[in-house]
Amino acid sequence: MTNFIHVVGARPNFMKLAPLYNKIAVSSYTQKIIHTGQHYDAQMSDIFFEQLKIPQPDYHLGIGSATQTEQTAKAMIAIEQVLLNDKPQAVIVYGDVNSTLAASLVCSKLLIPIVHVEAGLRSGDRTMPEEINRIITDRISTLLLTPSEDANKNLIDEGIPANQIYFVGNIMIDTLVESLKIINNHLIFTEKAQKVINSINGESYILSTVHRPSNVDNSQALKKLFSVFFEIASDKHIILPLHPRTKKQLEDLHILQDVPEKFHIIQPMGYFDFIHLQKNAFCVLTDSGGIQEETSYLNVPCLTLRANTERPITIELGSNELIGNDYNLLFEKMKEIASGDYKKAQTIPFWDGKTSDRIVSVLQSYFG
């Protein structure tokens, strides 16, 4: 019998899977990987498996894009087939994407224990699809492995028994710590990205990513955001690796017809290239969850284009600030960064590169 099956599906899962998979690989446990195929482009998926040395998934379900409900439902049906055949001792799920919810629901029906890595994060915003995924997954998980102490508190407040909750730290930082050691030798920018980097010629730049429905799916909000980007780019370079969801919207709304010279749009990037750009950025403007954490570890100013965050520790101890759509505040913060007055990140407990070791210890004490 397989001990553990990991279920992943979307880009932010892969850097969380890598360190735990590799740690379990040198234990006496057996393991397999299901990739639902929620993200399927080479730049959104394959490149992470290559760079982070994750073996090819044992099962690739090819779910692809659809509405939230359809994507989740299709993933559930396909995951059930695999789990009925394979009957693992437990399933390990990551983060808050639709594939995480799908796997958790299936396991709860088949009475397979669920191990949730990155449990307990809450934005308090139930209009975010990820928030629903977090709440439901935690509610039905067997072991809840948290990245920060605020997550423990959230779970206790929701009535989860304390003996199911383990504060293990942030697994994404394991990947970041390892990657920082090798990054300078492994940059493989695409031709287009390399051209951008050459054209910037060592000048300072802002790195940005946007893909959340709250920024992208509302055409007025997206137009406003891009007019602000263009204003900033009249002075400073902005590099924007474009998520497919954002690309589609921008094309539909003809927003990219007259783009300033210093505004550089490129394809989604591989992990090493993206971390390298983050590490050296003047600041990062993003609506991603994981990037709020990576910038905090790297002590790079992060201005988050959201009204709330499920990662408050990055504000309390890290280098993150919430901007929402208050663009005056954005300009104010950029001035602080330029003058050196912006806050500095502190060390965050258990964001130390050893989270996967702590997780394996929890698995050993629970599953034997």
Active site positions, annotated: 211
Structure tokens at 241: 């690796």
Taking the C-alpha atoms of residue 184 and residue 200, their distance in angstroms, rounded to an integer, is 18
Span interacting with ligand UD1, options 6-14, 150-158, 184-192, 304-312, rule CB under 6 A? 6-14
Structure tokens at 232: 């900033």
Q: Which is nearer to ligand UD1, 135 or 329 (CB)?
A: 135
Question: Which of 89, 141, 87, 83 shows the shortest CA–CA distance to 117?
Answer: 141
Cβ atoms of 137 and 93 within 8 Å: the answer is yes
Report in angstroms how near the CB of residue 65 gets to ligand UD1 at its nearest: 3
Structure tokens at 68: 């939230």
11 binds ligand UD1 (CB under 6 A): yes
Span interacting with ligand UD1, options 33-41, 107-115, 157-165, 313-321, rule CB under 6 A? 33-41
Q: Which is nearer to ligand UD1, 74 or 243 (CB)?
A: 243
12 binds ligand UD1 (CB under 6 A): yes
* Residue found under tokens 């509302």: 218
Of 224-253, which residues contact ligand UD1 (CB under 6 A)?
A: 243-245, 248
Report in angstroms how near the CB of residue 96 gets to ligand UD1 at its nearest: 6
Span interacting with ligand UD1, options 8-16, 116-124, 191-199, 227-235, rule CB under 6 A? 8-16
Structure tokens at 199: 């054209």
Number of residues engaging ligand UD1 in binding (CB under 6 A)? 20
211 binds ligand UD1 (CB under 6 A): yes
Q: Judged by CB under 6 A, which of 16, 32, 35, 39 binds ligand UD1?
A: 39
* Residue found under tokens 């990155």: 118
Question: Which of 268, 263, 337, 254 shows the shortest CA–CA distance to 301?
Answer: 337
Question: Which of 41, 96, 95, 106 shows the shortest CA–CA distance to 73?
Answer: 106
Residue 227's CB: how many other CB atoms inside 10 A? Answer: 11
Span interacting with ligand UD1, options 92-100, 108-116, 152-160, 227-235, rule CB under 6 A? 92-100
Taking the C-alpha atoms of residue 164 and residue 40, their distance in angstroms, rounded to an integer, is 34
Q: Judged by CB under 6 A, which of 129, 135, 224, 267 binds ligand UD1?
A: 129
H or E element in which residue 8 lies: strand 4-8
Q: Judged by CB under 6 A, which of 41, 217, 231, 235 binds ligand UD1?
A: 41
Q: Judged by CB under 6 A, which of 27, 55, 65, 84 binds ligand UD1?
A: 65
Q: Using CB atoms, what's the residue nearest to ligand UD1?
A: 244
Q: Judged by CB under 6 A, which of 21, 40, 226, 350 binds ligand UD1?
A: 40
98 binds ligand UD1 (CB under 6 A): yes
97 binds ligand UD1 (CB under 6 A): yes
- Label residue 91 left, alpha or beta by phi (over 0 means left) and psi (-120 to 50 means alpha): beta
Q: Which is nearer to ligand UD1, 24 or 47 (CB)?
A: 47
Report in angstroms how near the CB of residue 185 gets to ligand UD1 at its nearest: 27
Cβ atoms of 359 and 171 within 8 Å: the answer is yes
Taking the C-alpha atoms of residue 40 and residue 36, their distance in angstroms, rounded to an integer, is 9
Question: Which of 13, 66, 64 shows the shortest CA–CA distance to 38?
Answer: 64
Cβ atoms of 110 and 97 within 8 Å: the answer is no
The binding site for ligand UD1 (CB under 6 A) comprises 10-12, 38-41, 44, 65, 96-98, 129-130, 211, 243-245, 248, 288
